[in-house]
A and B are shown apart, each in its own frame.
Chain A
């Protein structure tokens, strides 16, 4: 069965500094990996995905993520954080058969001015 871990409940970073939100996964076969962001009282917004191809994936709002097969990780990164990036971030995985979409528990990112 698939699983997703986001080891940090909360990440705090100063505005202008780089940020990383960690995600590791377990899946049979090749993974489809996703990052979503949720602002207060809103649904989830798609940020980026890895299906195949380059391990470094660029997404919305300047975010990127690197797929590392050997470490089974898909960490979300941004070179320079903005206060407006403060939100709840979810990593998700599904296997390459398109079934069993699983979310991580979420990481709350706070960017401090």
Chain B
């Protein structure tokens, strides 16, 4: 149980375009999901907390207008990187909160902006 699916696993886009990443909880309902960014050889940096039916909570220093988060249902949260630039290239990971499991993570999305 407690499976989270993240899609796509890899995406390459041109500078200035937008990219949407999906995070789905497959066998449970997740009122809260989390989006992380991971730089090479570093730990996960929490970007934002996504709450179903309400606005996401962004961590300090994360641009909410660049990283749009929508949590429209209890099983789906999306992260849209708007007007992407090469410095947005990174590994993005979502997770959903199950108190007894801890966080269950998606498999990650490698974003490359060219």
| A contact residues vs B (CB 8 Å cutoff) | 32, 34, 36, 41-46, 49, 51, 90, 92, 94, 98, 101, 103-106, 108
Contact = CB atoms under 8 A, between A and B. Distances in A.
A43 B99 CA distance: 19
B105 interface: yes
Interface in B77-114: 91, 93, 95, 97, 99-108, 110
A103 B93 CA distance: 14
Given A43-B6, A46-B101, 11 more contacts: A32-B99, A32-B102, A34-B102, A44-B105, A46-B104, A90-B44, A94-B102, A101-B97, A101-B102, A104-B43, A106-B42
Contact of A103 (B44, B106, B107, B110): B44
| Contact residues of A: prevailing secondary structure | strand
Nearest to A32: B102
Contact of B43 (A42, A46, A103): A103
A53 to B, nearest CB: 13
A98 B6 contact: no
